[in-house]
Amino acid sequence: MYIIETDKLTKKFNNFTAVDGLDLKIEEGGLFGLLGPNGAGKSTTMYMLSTILEPTSGSAKVNGFDVQKEAEEVRKSIGIVFQDHTLDDRLNAYDNLDIHGRLYGIPGPKRAQRIKEVLELVDLQDWARQLVRVFSGGMKRRLEIARGLLQTPKLLFMDEPTLGLDPQTRRHIWEYIQKLRGEGVSIVLSTHYLEEADFLCDKVAIIDHGKIVALDTPANLKNRVQGSFIQIDCPEPQKLLNVIGKSKTVSHANAKITGTLLSFGTPDPAHAIPLLMKLADKAGIKVDSIETHKPSLEDVFIHYTGRSIREEKGSGMEEFARRMHARRT
């Protein structure tokens, strides 16, 4: 069974199409990433899948339940992690979770037990009685994650879970996310951090203008961008390039020399490197080092959308949090 299955899922705001006929099938038990630039429709997709927004047309099933006809069942089977300002700063960590547990109708003793478990999961057990106001950004996010897990969801939505956190805290959050996956929770996360998508996700959908432009494992996506890159550090890069050019045995696209570095794209570096070494050796050219790198998800992103994802974030997330909060209270 697919944990998420959408059929031409569409959301229009007046004449503007934010999500455009999305056909998506997500298997159970993995970590699925929605990657896209500002305004691509990631949050809107998540809003519809988590029943916060009604689709304009098309349909979606989450955990086998229809998001429109069986919204209550969908809501009970999912968890959502959103921005930290939906926590109540005036309450302590325990009470924030307790209120949420009550909203979800988790009975008293079970609720207390579950709160203890989720606080331990995110290493906040010693902070249960501290006001959230004194928490750091990373601690708040961990509490958010704990709250999203309170009702033991089969599927957890995380909209930009590490937005605005420092690299160390982000890595810390990644550890929790991986831990959850290890426990069998299916996770859908949106991110505009390419390395996050690459490192964490089993599969990634690149979304642009409300449409999926590519969907695959990060490795396969990167393989779709032609070639790899070779960088050679040597004292005579121009001489080496001339030798390579004459021999015609190593294909070398877009060769570039920067200082002592010669770099170019080539389809098969494992094949090219021994040939290169032989050519350099024969010509008496010293080579200090050779490095290769595959295309990154950034290269993939540019390939499909024609622009870089490294842009500042808009406020889509705040709107999500507001809506979610309004729905729950």
Size of the site for ligand ATP (CB under 6 A): 16
> What is the DSSP code (8-state) at residue 122?
T
Segment 43 to 72, residues that bind Mg ion, using CB under 5 A:
43
> Which range touches Mg ion (CB under 5 A), out of 53-61, 192-200, 267-275, 312-320?
312-320
Residue 316 engages Mg ion in binding (rule: CB under 5 A): yes
> Which range touches Mg ion (CB under 5 A), out of 22-30, 40-48, 109-117, 124-132?
40-48
> Which range touches ligand ATP (CB under 6 A), out of 32-40, 59-67, 147-155, 283-291?
32-40
Place of tokens 């809003």: 47
Binds ligand ATP (CB under 6 A): choice among 33, 41, 148, 218: 41
Angstrom distance (rounded) from CA 151 to CA 214? 33
| Beta carbon of residue 195, minimum distance to ligand ATP (angstroms, whole number) | 16
Residue 83 engages ligand ATP in binding (rule: CB under 6 A): no
Closest by CA position to 34, among listed 239, 188, 211, 240: 188
CA distances from 41 to 17, 44, 193, 205, 235 (A): 9, 5, 16, 12, 49
| Beta carbon of residue 128, minimum distance to Mg ion (angstroms, whole number) | 31
| Beta carbon of residue 124, minimum distance to Mg ion (angstroms, whole number) | 26
Find residue 293's DSSP bridge partners. 229
Residue 43 engages ligand ATP in binding (rule: CB under 6 A): yes
Helix 269-283 to helix 237-247 angle (10° resolution) is 110
Q: What SS3 class is residue 226? A: coil
| Beta carbon of residue 250, minimum distance to ligand ATP (angstroms, whole number) | 41
Closest by CA position to 176, among listed 124, 103, 121: 121
DSSP string, 281-320: HHHT----EEEEEPPPHHHHHHHHHSS-S-----SHHHHH
> Which range touches ligand ATP (CB under 6 A), out of 21-29, 37-45, 84-92, 244-252?
37-45
Closest by CA position to 197, among listed 297, 323, 276, 57: 297
| Beta carbon of residue 264, minimum distance to ligand ATP (angstroms, whole number) | 34
Place of tokens 């298997």: 27
Site string for Mg ion, 258-297 (x = CB under 5 A): ----------------------------------------
Residue 276 engages ligand ATP in binding (rule: CB under 6 A): no
Binds ligand ATP (CB under 6 A): choice among 42, 141, 142, 172: 42
Report yes or no: 230 and 269 within 8 Å, Cβ to Cβ: yes
Among ligand ATP, Mg ion, none, what does residue 110 contact (CB within 5–8 Å per kind)? none
Closest by CA position to 190, among listed 153, 158, 155: 158
Residue 226 engages ligand ATP in binding (rule: CB under 6 A): no
Positions touching ligand ATP (CB under 6 A) are 13, 16, 18, 36, 38-44, 192, 313-314, 316-317
Positions touching Mg ion (CB under 5 A) are 42-43, 316
